[in-house]
Amino acid sequence: MKLFRFGEPGVEKPGILLDGKMYNASSFGEDYGEIFFEKDGLARLQKWLDQNKSSLTLIKDGTRLGPCFQRPSKIICVGLNYTKHALESKMPLPPEPIIFFKSTSALCGPNDSLIIPKNSVKTDWEVELAVVIGKKASYVEEKDALEYVAGYCLHNDYSEREFQLERNGQWVKGKSCDTFAPMGPYLVTKDEVANYNNLHMWLKVNGKTMQDNNTDDMIF
């Protein structure tokens, strides 16, 4: 399935993409949040969809898309996790994952305007693969890890590089400004992703390709 959310900020409704068309799934009665995923929401949604597909209504063209899931408890990021990016940055490959958080208040829709923070001089962008965790996970064995994954989505990881790197390592300040974590447009369930280690990823700025890589370049 490909899930999305639509409507004004803070009051988004759930939607689902079927055969390339965007449908309102509000009548399912649940939004795509942590409780939905933890209580086997994807399976329940599929069963509901099998019974109600014909009654779904299309959403209007031009409707704002919100983040493809409700605000989560945390956004965990892995820094410097692509070999090419590390080499471009003239930094050594990290021996273990560099973990940091982005504030959940940075979450926004995939096409929402970026708010450049006051006094910013080095606001930057990075295309990222976001992994959506579907249930509480603690001390999970690597072989069991994918059992906890609900799906994947795109994340444009905005940063203010001067705040982050030139002010004594202010990663939170550089990464967590409002609108610095657009997600979506779709949450793609893991059954639709044949190989998450071989996904073409790219990013354009004003029509110019600035990044062109593959998830097979991930260090971790």
Question: Taking the domains of the chain in order of start, what are their residue ranges?
Answer: 2-66, 75-217
CA 212-4-208 angle, 5° bins: 25
**160: confidence class by pLDDT, cuts 50, 70, 90:** very high
Residue 111's Cβ-count burial label (10 Å; 0-12, 13-18, 19+) is exposed
Check pLDDT > 90 for residue 177: yes
Using a pLDDT cut of 90, give the percent of the chain over it. Answer: 91
Assign 167 a pLDDT band (cuts: 50, 70, 90): confident
| CATH for the 75-217 domain, from 1.10.287.1770, 3.40.50.720, 3.30.590.20, 3.90.850.10 | 3.90.850.10
pLDDT at 65 over 90: yes
- Only one residue has tokens 């998450």, namely 196
Instruction: Name the DSSP letter for residue 41.
Output: H
Whether residue 6 contacts residue 59, with contact meaning beta carbons closer than 8 Å, is answered with yes
Query: How many Å is the Cα radius of gyration of the chain?
Result: 18
